[in-house]
Structure 1
Amino acid sequence: MKAKYLIVSATHSEVANLIEQEGQTILKNHLYSIWDKVHILITGVGQVNTTYSLMRYFMDYDKPDNLINVGICGSFSNKYTPGTIVQVCKETAANQLVEQDGRWLTWANIGLIDKTNRTITPTTPHWAENIAIPRVAGLTVDFLTDDYSFIQKRKEFFQCQVETMEGAAVFTIAMREKIPVLQIRSISNYVEQRDKKHWSIEEAKKELHIFASQKLKPLITKKT
């Protein structure tokens, strides 16, 4: 059965409440069906796992009409505190860098990709255009660090508000396959020293579930 909406999450724990409380059907390992024509796909963490899982899904079930990427993320800004729900509207892949004479250059700077492709800005589903939450720019990272000087350099160079690990992959696939996509993230921590005692992961997952069940569900079940 082709899904009208495909919800994508890196880990089961980020959407566990949604899966367990919404009358889910297990279609196969890491794939669930909830509501009407809505699938949830658990991809695994990072861009490589996400890309493989999405393309495998497309081969098995065809492309959905809409992609929805949900999960937790880190914040570069004190403006977005743990527990805040944000919509990521554009993404940049942090690993598309060249270091030359101590300076960072993007792949676009040296001609490896077109300059218009440095920031990935896909089409937002029309039914999600009026969601009243903060809209931010995301930075997708593969290399995790708690080195303060490196974090500050990243923050100043890319000028993004949140840090994700899958967003750029989801957005790239959505753009190339011409699928409208919505990315919703819940802030779990500030991007700083990696001391999880100071993170709010459970609060972030709780707020994400509240948003999904109270805000997202009415939007997509109404349109199904």
Structure 2
Amino acid sequence: MENDFVPLFAFASNVEFFGVFPECKSFVQNNIRLGEIIELPESRGFAVVLGVGMLEFATNLSVLLSRFAAEGPFTHVVQAGICGAYPDRGLEIGDVVRVDSEIVGDLGVVECDGTFTPWHKVCGNPTNGALPSVHAQVYESSSLRGVPTWLSGLRSAAGFTVNCCTGTASMAKERSENFNVDVESMEGAACFSICHAFCIPCYEIRAVSNFATTRDKSTWRIADALAALRTALSSKF
């Protein structure tokens, strides 16, 4: 571990925070306030819960980083949590991945025939007067500038950030194939975008809790995924 590395673990929910750091229950209430920084035991860094979804997560992270614009107690942001894996991408429930890139997946328009057109393709249409755009906006982790040693053992994955989670097999196929992505979450791109705006290095580590396909909560294994994430992080911090 780099000597100047002091992580801020950013979670979307209390479930994820306490699932990874259960020892904090001894001195933290069951539900911590959004944006409240918690100092972790044994000098492991800091943690914060920022809310579920791109808007809430981005708003609270922006407010937090604005408070520490000059100098804060942490040097890096590590977004940690669970995710859904798209079928046929070589991932299993319980796998822990390093998400190196994120795409905002459901920003766009639904055409009159029911098909979905991503926003970057809408903007690339010369008839609407917008500047052409060839590629979707991809938000990249700091690890793409060189994977730190402590992250090198984790499998790289491409992330897809959505406001509306996948609920059908056809949607899963469309999303994974059209965008060549592996996992789905609701906050990944927001974290990368905000951290880049504030010039603070950020990384994303997630454990697969379910497959992003036909919605069936009886097959979800959130506790197992959080246990795997806890084990992966405890071996590195």
TM-score, normalised to structure 2, is 0.79
From 99, 102, 105, the counterpart of 1:91 = 102
Aligned partner of 2:13 in structure 1 is 11
Whether 1:123 aligns to 2:142 is: yes
Is the Cα contact below 8 Å between 2:160 and 2:185 reproduced in 1?
yes
SS of alignment partner, residue 45 of structure 1: coil
SS of alignment partner, residue 120 of structure 2: coil
Tell me the distance in 1 between the aligned counterparts of 2:26 and 2:148.
23
Tell me the distance in 2 between the aligned counterparts of 1:55 and 1:128.
28
Greater gyration radius: 2
Closer, same or farther: CA 17–95 of 1 in aligned 2, 3 Å: closer
Aligned partner of 1:107 in structure 2 is 119
Task: Return the letter of the residue paired with 1:57.
Answer: L
Q: Deviation of residue 156 (structure 1)? A: 1.9
Whether 1:49 aligns to 2:56 is: yes
Aligned partner of 1:32 in structure 2 is 38
Tell me the distance in 2 between the aligned counterparts of 1:168 and 1:39.
21
Name the structure with the higher strand share: 1
Q: Deviation of residue 116 (structure 1)? A: 6.0
Closer, same or farther: CA 130–50 of 1 in aligned 2, 3 Å: closer
Whether 1:139 aligns to 2:157 is: no
Percent identical pairs in the alignment equals 24
Tell me the distance in 1 between the aligned counterparts of 2:63 and 2:44.
18
After superposition, give the CA deviation of every residue in 1:65-97 in whole Å (9 maximum; x if it has no partner).
211000000001341000000000000001222
Tell me the distance in 1 between the aligned counterparts of 2:198 and 2:26.
27
- The range that moved more, 68-77 or 34-43, is 34-43
Is the Cα contact below 8 Å between 1:19 and 1:32 reproduced in 2?
no
Tell me the distance in 2 between the aligned counterparts of 1:139 and 1:180.
20
Tell me the distance in 1 between the aligned counterparts of 2:147 and 2:27.
28
Task: Return the letter of the residue paired with 1:67.
Answer: V
Unaligned segments of structure 1, at least 5 residues: 218-224
